[in-house]
Structure 1
Amino acid sequence: MKPLEPKPKIPYVVGSKSPTAVAINSASKAGEWIKSRLGLIKEINTKCSPQDLVTDVDKGAELMIRKLILTHFPDHSILGEEGVEPGAEASERALNQAKEAEYLWIIDPIDGTTNFVQGFPFFCVSIALAYRGEVIIGVIYDPIRDEMFVAEKGKGAYVHGNPMKVSRDEKLADSVLAVGFNPDRSYALPVNMKGINALADRTLSLRAAGSAALHLAYVAAGRLGGYCEVGLNAWDIAAGALLVKESGGMVTDTTGNPYDIGVRRLVASNGRIHQELLDVLKNAEATGV
């Protein structure tokens, strides 16, 4: 019997000027450069807390992505993590100033910077495009696993060119959920800990791998049943939220209101366990409201 031939690798770098192709190309090029800088970081600083890190590689990757996007779309606006002052208030101000743009690119050059600094292989590039405040394109690239997650509004979501579907878990007890240990130690972390404590014995298991964007990509791919965290920013979740919705899942804030790019208290799931997850967070006073 002849051995099966490996499937041809789908090219990620597309020579088109469509916004989706530009997002894919930008994420791919930045991701490969980030990967090449593992262990070669020259500068590490902190932002809103000692646990909130930023490196010269974050800044370089964002500059690269900005240049690639603006080469094709010079009239578009860009909201990138490294162009915003640290802290929740600064993030909210920057989003309010930018969200009225007709076309707004929302970029996190390295989601999971602490992992990148430590050499822990769970970080990614996240790029989204919003049209009049609604996310229409979401791209997340994991350079370590060479996984490109892509979603277009109304056209589904894909990884390696294959359609993604959320898990079919019917209840929390059957689900593996992702949670986050937010670097905001004064507000977000205590709220998240309440939720983590409440969910620990209500789920099959919990995971906290340190990248909101990849957690959302994994919900979209059916690898996780859901994900929740308080204290996030638009660039952490814009691309991933579209991936989840286009894979058949549900994304809201922690009180069940529909997702928009201003949401900072996030719950994403396969949809089937969503209300049960919201109820647990509410009863644990872990909504952040």
Structure 2
Amino acid sequence: MENEYQILESAIKKAGRRAQVIRQSGLSVTVKGRQDFVSEADVSVENELKEVIHALFPEDGFLGEESGLVLGTDTKKSGVWVIDPIDGTTNYLQGMDYWCISVAYVVNNVIQLGFVYAPDRDEFFFAQRGKGAYLNGAPLTIQEPEKGQAIIGVGRSNRRPLQAYFDLLVVLDTNNVEHRRFGAGALMLAHVASGLVHGYFESHLNSWDALAGLLLIEEAGGRVPNFLENDGLLNGNPVWAASSQLWLDLDHVLN
């Protein structure tokens, strides 16, 4: 299987470079909703990755942000590849570097693999259940922040009331916790694993935004929710993931 993973890593990096080229040459963009865009790069990357994965793992299914769910040929044995072709599309369109490709592999409701690639930042994250988390080949281990120095990433889901987001900021301020919002949940989760931030909270994430990053955090020694419960694969769920002690310190005020 290691050879297949290497082929997939190469395909993800190639798709990321293609997205960069498409952006440089001009984009066609469709508006899905308020501040919710899909570009030709989203569609191109998703189709490209699905083609490679299908060639490597023909029995498996897919869940893509743009194309939806396609079941595998053997639903009892096969897994599901969950793809967000470009997380942080608005950042990508604006020429910012904070966007990524996210790919996760789920078998029997358990995340087995996670890939997060941020092409503009040259950051390739990989995690395999039971075998650790890595950034550009270097192993990741989450460290606890010093007391009073915690910084957590936050996301704003338009599937939840705006007031809930305001309330979150008040809770964080009351508990002397700094926050950052960069507009790409999958990459912010990966950055919890690498220590750029110490945790991430969002009142609702879709599975294609969450799964790869959650496995990265778990394999780096952090605490994550059981995201896939209550049909989280299709319906999404809230996310609170962090270094272990910080998770315990804030869980009662965030949930």
Q: Same fold (TM over 0.5)?
A: yes
Structure 1: runs of 5+ lacking an equivalent = 1-14, 85-93, 253-257, 283-289
Give the counterpart of 2:110 among 131, 134, 140: 134
Q: Indicate the residue corresponding to 2:186 in structure 1.
A: 213
Contact 2:227 2:238 in 1 (8 A): no
Q: CA deviation at 1:165?
A: 1.1
Q: Distance in 1 between matches of 2:130 and 2:239?
A: 22
**Counterpart mapping for 1:41-120 below 5 A:** 41-47=26-32, 49-84=33-68, 94=69, 102-120=78-96
Q: Distance in 2 between matches of 1:130 and 1:157?
A: 16
Q: Which letter maps to 1:182?
A: S
Q: Distance in 2 between matches of 1:133 and 1:68?
A: 23
Q: Which letter maps to 1:73?
A: F
Give the counterpart of 1:32 among 3, 17, 20: 17
Indicate how the Cα distance of structure 1 residues 196 and 22 shifts in structure 2: closer, same or farther if over 3 A, else same. farther
Q: CA deviation at 1:39?
A: 4.0
Counting helix residues as a fraction of each chain, which structure ranks higher? 2
Give the counterpart of 2:163 among 171, 187, 190: 190
Q: CA deviation at 1:193?
A: 2.5
Q: Distance in 2 between matches of 1:220 and 1:233?
A: 19
Counting strand residues as a fraction of each chain, which structure ranks higher? 2
Contact 2:12 2:101 in 1 (8 A): yes
Contact 1:30 1:65 in 2 (8 A): yes
Query: Aligned residue pairs: how many?
Result: 248
Q: Indicate the residue corresponding to 2:125 in structure 1.
A: 149
Q: Deviations over 1:149-197 (max 9, x none)?
A: 01000000011111101122265x320110012243xx25432231122
- The percentage of counterpart residues that share the same residue type is 33
**Counterpart mapping for 1:261-280 below 5 A:** 262=232, 263-280=236-253
